[in-house]
């Protein structure tokens, strides 16, 4: 059994919204509403879902860039969800983030040298010469020349900027990296290059990834397991092959039906979801997907389903499934 690196249990992140002259809290936006999963050392867990499903908020909460409202975040067996700022600092170098936008995530006033060495300055006590050597090494690892370190972000293309962001994330020799849609702002040809680079670096440095994206083809290319989020909750999680070949949850089926396919015999009939996603400040009762689900029945409106483990190593949150059985409702 692989070593468990990260365990997230019943993680919640609520944002209060305020009204009136006194701006008193009158409710909460439930951006992340009870997410639980494990990530094992050396694997890539891909997270997919519509915009607004809580993927990025979950990622930032795991890294404690946002404070969790409730739940546990265990990294290497240590509960970093309750760690003090001083205690948390020792974990920072082991947990890094690759941002979505390669343009806004790099300080335009900093040279590449300063951008990549900044986490080394904060997290380590190594000398200036050692930091420079490390910067050169990281640039070479991501496919950029040593000359790049004297330049500024505006002198690079989008793909090159993202490589700089990856080099910065690698600088402290982390164990765990979250990629928050790291290729969504890039051209398709550049996306493939960056994804292959990330896979090569994972093997070389024994990295563990949490990879967030809305493009299911991208997630399939890089992930070992896949989790599907809807309205702040996981609705299905399991091995990549099982989910892509035989999705169980109606929402997962709808997402995959929209993926373009080249082979006619493997094309799925497009599932059209009616309506917009519910407001996370006022989610529907019962299953949050029942307002758009083509297979919903009366019980879906009353009770919210929990993730139930299936026989093929995945879990699904749907009243159509109970244990390893399919529930037929007439």
Q: Report the share of the chain in percent with pLDDT over 70.
A: 95
234 forms beta bridges with 229
pLDDT, the chain, mean: 89
Q: Flag whether pLDDT at 326 surpasses 60.
A: no
Is 315 within 8 Å of 309 (Cβ atoms)? yes
Q: Residue 263 — very low, low, confident or very high, per pLDDT cuts 50/70/90?
A: low
Averaged pLDDT, 80-93: 86
Spell out the domains of the chain, with CATH numbers in brackets. 4-94+174-326 (3.40.50.300)
Which letter, b or e, does each residue of 261-277 get, where b requires 16 or more Cβ atoms within 10 Å of its Cβ? eeeeeeeeeeeebeeeb
What SS3 state is found at 229?
Answer: strand
Residue 329: what pLDDT?
Answer: 45
Q: Flag whether pLDDT at 265 surpasses 90.
A: no
Q: At what angle do helices 128-141 and 112-123 cross, to 10 degrees?
A: 120
Q: Flag whether pLDDT at 267 surpasses 80.
A: no
Q: Flag whether pLDDT at 325 surpasses 60.
A: no
Residue 281: what pLDDT?
Answer: 84
Q: Residue 2 — very low, low, confident or very high, per pLDDT cuts 50/70/90?
A: confident
Dihedral angle computed from the Cα positions of residues 141, 144, 146 and 150, in that order, rounded to the nearest 10 degrees:
-130
Q: Which of 38, 45, 47, 37 is nearest to 4 (CA)?
A: 38
Residue 21: what pLDDT?
Answer: 74
Q: Flag whether pLDDT at 276 surpasses 90.
A: no
Q: Residue 310 — very low, low, confident or very high, per pLDDT cuts 50/70/90?
A: confident
φ and ψ of 113, to 5 deg? -55, -50
Residue 330: what pLDDT?
Answer: 35
Q: Are strands 233-239 and 225-230 parallel, antiparallel or unpaired?
A: antiparallel
The least confident of 37-41, 151-155, 183-187 is 183-187
The least confident of 139-148, 271-280, 291-300 is 271-280
pLDDT in tens, 55-85: 999 999 999 999 999 999 999 888 998 888 8
Residue 214: how many other CB atoms lie within 10 Å: 16
Is 167 within 8 Å of 116 (Cβ atoms)? yes
pLDDT in tens, 3-34: 899 999 999 999 988 777 777 777 889 999 99
What SS3 state is found at 222?
Answer: helix
Averaged pLDDT, 151-170: 95
pLDDT in tens, 169-227: 999 999 999 999 999 888 888 999 999 999 999 999 999 999 999 888 899 999 999 99
Which letter, b or e, does each residue of 11-30 get, where b requires 16 or more Cβ atoms within 10 Å of its Cβ? bbbbbeeeeeeeeeeeebbb
Which tokens is 105 given?
């995530």
Q: Residue 234 — very low, low, confident or very high, per pLDDT cuts 50/70/90?
A: very high
């Amino acid at each position: 059994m692989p070593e468990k690196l990260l365990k997230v249990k019943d993680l919640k992140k609520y944002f209060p919204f305020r009204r009136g002259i006194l701006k008193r809290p009158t409710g909460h936006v439930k951006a992340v509403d009870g997410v639980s999963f494990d990530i094992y050392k050396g694997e890539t867990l891909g997270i997919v879902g519509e915009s607004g499903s809580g993927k990025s908020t979950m990622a930032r909460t795991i890294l404690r860039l946002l404070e969790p409202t409730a739940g546990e975040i265990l990294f290497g067996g240590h509960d970093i969800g309750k760690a003090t700022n001083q205690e948390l600092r020792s974990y920072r170098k082991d947990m890094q983030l690759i941002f979505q936008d390669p343009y806004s995530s790099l300080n335009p006033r900093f040279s590449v040298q300063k951008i990549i060495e900044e986490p080394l300055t904060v997290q380590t006590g190594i000398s200036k010469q050692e930091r420079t050597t490390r910067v050169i090494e990281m640039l070479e690892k991501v496919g950029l020349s040593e000359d790049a370190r004297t330049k500024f972000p505006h002198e690079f293309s989008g793909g090159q900027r993202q490589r700089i962001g990856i080099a910065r994330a690698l600088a402290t020799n982390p164990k765990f990296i979250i990629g928050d849609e790291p290729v969504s702002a890039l051209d398709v040809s550049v996306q493939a290059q960056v994804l292959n680079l990330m896979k090569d670096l994972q093997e070389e440095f024994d990295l563990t990834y949490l990879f967030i994206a809305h493009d299911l083809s991208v997630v399939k290319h890089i992930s070992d397991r896949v989790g599907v989020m809807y309205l702040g909750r996981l609705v299905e999680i399991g091995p990549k092959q099982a989910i892509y070949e035989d999705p169980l949850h109606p929402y997962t089926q709808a997402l995959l039906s929209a993926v373009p396919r080249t082979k006619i015999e493997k094309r799925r009939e497009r599932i059209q979801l009616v309506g917009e996603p519910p407001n996370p400040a006022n989610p529907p009762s019962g299953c949050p997907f029942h307002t758009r689900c083509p297979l919903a029945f009366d019980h879906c409106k009353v009770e919210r389903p929990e993730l139930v483990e299936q026989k093929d190593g995945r879990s699904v949150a749907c009243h159509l499934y109970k244990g390893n059985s399919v529930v037929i409702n007439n």
